Amino acid sequence: MTFELADLFSFLWKKKFRLIFTSALIIVATGYYVSKLPKVYSASSTILLGKGEQSLGLPSALSNFSRGSNSETDTYLEFIRSRQFLKGIVDTLFLTKVAEFRPKRNESNEEKVSNYAIGILLNNLVLTKVGSTDLIKVTYYSQNPMIAADVANLIGPAFFSYHADMTKKKAGDTSVWLNNQLADLQDKLLKAENAMQVFIEEHKLIGANTEIELAKAELATLLQERMATDKALSDIQATVQSIEVANGDVAIMMQIPWVMNNPMVENLRNNILSKEQNFAELKKRYKSKHHKFIVAQGAINDLKTEQKNLLNRLAVGLKQSMATLVQRLQDLQKKIEVTKARFSGLSRYEVELVKLKRGIETTQNLYQVFVSRLQETELLKGLDKNKEFAVIDYAVIPQNPTKPRVVMLMSVTVLLAVVFSSGFWLILHLVSDRKTRLKQLLRSLDVPLLGEIPKLKTKASAKSIANVVDIGQLDRQFSEAIRSLRTEVLVRSDNLENRIIALTGIKNGDGKTTLSISLALAFAKLEKVILIDSDLRSPAIAKSFGLDKDHPGISNLISRQVPFSECVFRHPDSKLRVLPSGPIPADPMIYISTSRFAQLIKKLGVVYERVVLETPSLDTVSDTFVLSRLVDGIILVCDVENTDNDSLIEAIQRLREMGAPLLGVVFNKVKDVKSRFSKHQVKALAVKKST
C-alpha cells in the first residue's frame, strides 16, 4: 500500500493532538522510570601486563616459552574474570556485607551469598585493552562511589600477587613432574638399547648391511640372466615350431631365417646353385644318356641329399639346445627364489633393527627435551620477578554518577516517542481506514476515482431522500464535493462527449439516488439537464421531488399511454427536468429492452445537453448492463463504510465483461473529504462549458 507524502503530512497534522498526547505520555512514563533508576558510579585504573626482560641468554625455545603475546594478555584477562580470582576480591573487601552485593531476599547460606556477590562483581567489571599496548584499563561500576574506586584499585595488585603465587607453585609442580618423567625415560632408553643388542646377536646381524647389498647384487644378476635365457628360449622355440611345421620339406625349411643364416647351410646351398648352373649348360649340349649328363645330375642329387641330412641334424641340435635352455631357466628360477628368500629375511631384520634404532633415538631426543625443560623451569622460578606488572594509574573516588545518562535517555525517548506515536496512529489508520484500501484497489485496477462525497449528518427524523437532498444543498462540504464530481465529469468530457451518463450502485443503500439528484442539480446550474429514473423496480426520484406515486413516467411513455410532456417534471429553480419511472411494471426488463426506450434516450441526448440516469444496483438485477449500451459513461457509486474489496472488484469486473463505458468510481458517505479541484479550476470549466 502506497502513501503519498502530502497525505502523510495531512494525516499527521490532523492527528497532531493525539500524537502530542501519546508522545507526552511515553515521555512522562520514561522520565518517571529513569528517575527511579539507581545512580551508578564508575572508577577506572590502569595496569601494565608487559613482557619480562630477556637478558639471561636463554635458548630460543625458552625465549619463545616466556615471551609475552596477545594470547598471553587475553589469558590474563580471562584469569581476572575467573570466579576463583574474583572470590578473593569479594573476601578482601568484605563485599558480602554490602547491601548491593547481597540477594534481595534474606539468604542464610554464605556460599550462595558469596556466589551472588561474585556474579554482581563480574557483571559490573569491564577490562579493556588500551590500543595495541600492554596496558589494561580496569573499570568498575557500583552504586557506591567508594566501592567502585576500591575494586578498581585492588584488581591489579591482587592479580600480581595471585599470579606470582601460581607461577611459583606451577614451577615447583613442573619440576617434580619433569624429574619423574626423566627417570622413566632413562629406564626406557636403557631397555631399548639392551633389546637392540640382543636382537643383533640373536640374528647375527653384524655387517648386515653388506650382506643385504650382496644379496641385492646377486638377485639383480640372476634376474638379468633369466631375462636373457628367457629371450633365447623364446627365439629357439619359434624356430623349432617353424621346423616342425615344415615337416621335412627342404624348400620350406630353407625359408626359416635361422636356417638361412647358418654358414654350413648357406655354403651347401651355394654349391647346389653352382652345380645346377653347370648342369643347365650341359643339358644344351648333351642328351640324357650321355655319361657327362648322368655324372652332373648325380652330383646335384648327392648335394641335395647332403643338404637334407644337414637340415635334419640342425633340427635335432636345435631341439637339444632348447631343452638345455629350459633346464637352465628352471635352475635360474630356483636360485632366484632362494636369493629372494634370503634377501627378504635380511630386509625384515633390517626393518626391525631400524625400528629399534628409531625408538632409541626418539627416547634420547625426548630425554634431551625434558632435560632442557627442567633447566628452563629452574630458571623460570626467578624469571617472573622481571615481569613488567605495575599499576600505572590508580582510580579516584568518582563525584558524579555515570549512569543513567538522563539527557541522552530523554533525548532518545523524545525522538522514539514521536516516531512511535506517528507509526502507531498511522498503522492504526491504515488498518482501520477502508477508504485508503479501496483507493489502492482502484489504482491497481486502473479505474479513476471521480470524487469523494461526504457523509451528511442527518437526524433520525430526516432520513428521507428529499430531506437528505435538501440538507446536502445547504451543507457546504457536500455541495463542494458534488461540484468537484461535476468538474471531474466535465474534465473527462474533453475527449469523450459523455452527454448521457448513468449512476449505479454496488448494492442497495449506496446513496445513488441522492447522488443522482445532487449531480443533476449541479449540472443544471450550467446547462440543460434531464434526470431519468430508470430504476423501474425500486424508483425513488419521484418521491424525492414531492411527486405523486401515480405520476406518469417512463413506463407510461413506453407503453404510449401518456405523452412526453405530461411525464416530465420541471424543476422550478433550475434548468433541470425530471422523468420519473412511472408505475412499477410487472417485468421492467421488457420496457428498458425495447427499441422505443433506446430511441427515447437517444433523442433526449440530442435535446438536452446532459442526460443523467439512475439505474438499479448491480447486485440485484442485470438492468444496468442493458442500459449501459445506451449511455456514454457509467459512474459506479461505492458506499465506503459498507463495501469490501471483493464486492468492488466483482462490480468492476462485471461492468468490464459487459463492455460498459465505466467513467470511474465515486466514494459516498466519506467522513474526511478533500476538494479535488480549486475554485479557479471550477470557474474555468464553467466558462468553457458556457462558451
- Note the pLDDT of residue 470: 62
Res. 273: pLDDT tops 80: yes
Res. 315: pLDDT tops 70: yes
Q: Which residues contact 314 (CB under 8 A, 6 or more apart)?
A: 259, 262, 264, 265
Res. 107: pLDDT tops 60: yes
Q: 420-428 contacts: CB < 8 A, separation 24 or more? A: 420/22, 420/23, 420/26, 421/18, 421/19, 421/22, 421/23, 421/26, 422/12, 422/19, 424/22, 425/11, 425/15, 425/18, 425/19, 425/22, 426/3, 426/8, 426/11
- Note the pLDDT of residue 186: 78
- Note the pLDDT of residue 58: 36
Res. 139: pLDDT tops 60: yes
- Note the pLDDT of residue 209: 62
- Note the pLDDT of residue 54: 41
Residues 114, 216 within the same domain:
no
Residue 48 DSSP SS3: strand
Query: At how many degrees (to 10) do helices 5-14 and 16-36 cross?
Result: 70
SS (H, E, C) 537-557: CCCCHHHHCCCCCCCCCHHHH
What residues make up the domain containing 504? 435-690
Residues 389, 442 within the same domain:
no
Res. 219: pLDDT tops 60: yes
pTM of the model as a whole: 0.44
Report residue 123's pLDDT band, with 50, 70 and 90 as the boundaries. Answer: very high
Res. 686: pLDDT tops 70: no
For 8-30, write each residue's pLDDT tens digit. 777 788 788 888 999 999 999 98
Instruction: Indicate whether 407 belongs to any domain.
Output: no
For 336-354, write each residue's pLDDT tens digit. 888 777 777 667 766 777 7
- Contact between 389 and 48 under an 8 Å Cβ cutoff? The reply is yes
Task: Find how far residue 14's CA is from the centre of its chain.
Answer: 43
The whole-number average pLDDT for the span 175-188 is 78
Among candidate residues 341, 365, 393, the one where a domain is terminated: 393
Total structural domains in the chain? 3
For 42-46, 59-63, 529-533, which range has the lowest pLDDT when averaged over its residues? 59-63
Read off the C-alpha cell for 351: 626393518
Report residue 180's pLDDT band, with 50, 70 and 90 as the boundaries. Answer: confident
Report residue 140's pLDDT band, with 50, 70 and 90 as the boundaries. Answer: very high
CATH number of the domain enclosing 74: 3.30.1890
Most confident range, picked from 48-62, 70-84, 120-134: 120-134
Report residue 3's pLDDT band, with 50, 70 and 90 as the boundaries. Answer: low
Instruction: Indicate whether 196 belongs to any domain.
Output: no
Distance from C-alpha of 451 to C-alpha of 484, rounded to nearest angstrom: 7
Beta strands in 280-386 (DSSP E): none
Report residue 429's pLDDT band, with 50, 70 and 90 as the boundaries. Answer: low
Instruction: Indicate whether 359 belongs to any domain.
Output: yes
Decide the pairing of beta strands 41-49 and 389-393. Answer: antiparallel
Residues 465, 318 within the same domain:
no
Distance from C-alpha of 45 to C-alpha of 140, rounded to nearest angstrom: 9
Residues 372, 389 within the same domain:
no
Instruction: Indicate whether 199 belongs to any domain.
Output: no
User: Greater confidence, 169 or 599?
Assistant: 599
Instruction: Indicate whether 193 belongs to any domain.
Output: no
- Note the pLDDT of residue 501: 93
Res. 387: pLDDT tops 60: no
For 471-507, write each residue's pLDDT tens digit. 656 678 888 999 999 988 888 755 557 889 999 998 8
Task: Find how far residue 534's CA is from the centre of its chain.
Answer: 61
Res. 616: pLDDT tops 50: yes
Distance from C-alpha of 594 to C-alpha of 61, rounded to nearest angstrom: 113
- Note the pLDDT of residue 246: 80
- Note the pLDDT of residue 74: 85
Instruction: Indicate whether 103 belongs to any domain.
Output: yes
Using the CB atoms, write b or e for 211-250: b if 16+ within 10 Å. Answer: bbeebeebbeebeeebeebeeebeebeebbebbeebeeee
Residues 487, 345 within the same domain:
no
The whole-number average pLDDT for the span 36-60 is 69
Residues 140, 238 within the same domain:
no
Distance from C-alpha of 626 to C-alpha of 504, rounded to nearest angstrom: 12
Res. 259: pLDDT tops 50: yes
The whole-number average pLDDT for the span 430-443 is 76
- Note the pLDDT of residue 459: 53
Report residue 635's pLDDT band, with 50, 70 and 90 as the boundaries. Answer: very high
Residue 403 DSSP SS3: strand
The whole-number average pLDDT for the span 206-233 is 77
Residue 141 DSSP SS3: strand
Angle, CA of 620, 624 and 628, to the nearest 5°: 160
Residues 213, 321 within the same domain:
yes
Report residue 469's pLDDT band, with 50, 70 and 90 as the boundaries. Answer: low
Instruction: Indicate whether 623 belongs to any domain.
Output: yes
For 239-250, write each residue's pLDDT tens digit. 888 888 888 777
- Note the pLDDT of residue 206: 54
User: Greater confidence, 674 or 288?
Assistant: 288
Read off the C-alpha cell for 483: 461540484
Residues 348, 453 within the same domain:
no
- Note the pLDDT of residue 388: 67
Residues 477, 532 within the same domain:
yes
Residues 47, 164 within the same domain:
yes
- Note the pLDDT of residue 402: 85
Helix, strand, coil content of the chain in percent (nearest 5):
65, 10, 25
Read off the C-alpha cell for 70: 596477545
Instruction: Indicate whether 535 belongs to any domain.
Output: yes
Give the full edge-to-edge strand order of the sheet including 389-393: 125-129, 135-142, 41-49, 389-393
Report residue 295's pLDDT band, with 50, 70 and 90 as the boundaries. Answer: confident
- Note the pLDDT of residue 521: 92
Res. 465: pLDDT tops 60: no
Res. 42: pLDDT tops 50: yes
- Note the pLDDT of residue 56: 35
The whole-number average pLDDT for the span 570-580 is 89
Residues 366, 389 within the same domain:
no
Residue type, 58: L
Among candidate residues 393, 423, 450, the one where a domain is terminated: 393
Mean pLDDT, the chain, rounded, equals: 81
For 142-153, write each residue's pLDDT tens digit. 989 999 899 989
- Note the pLDDT of residue 65: 38
Residues 565, 588 within the same domain:
yes
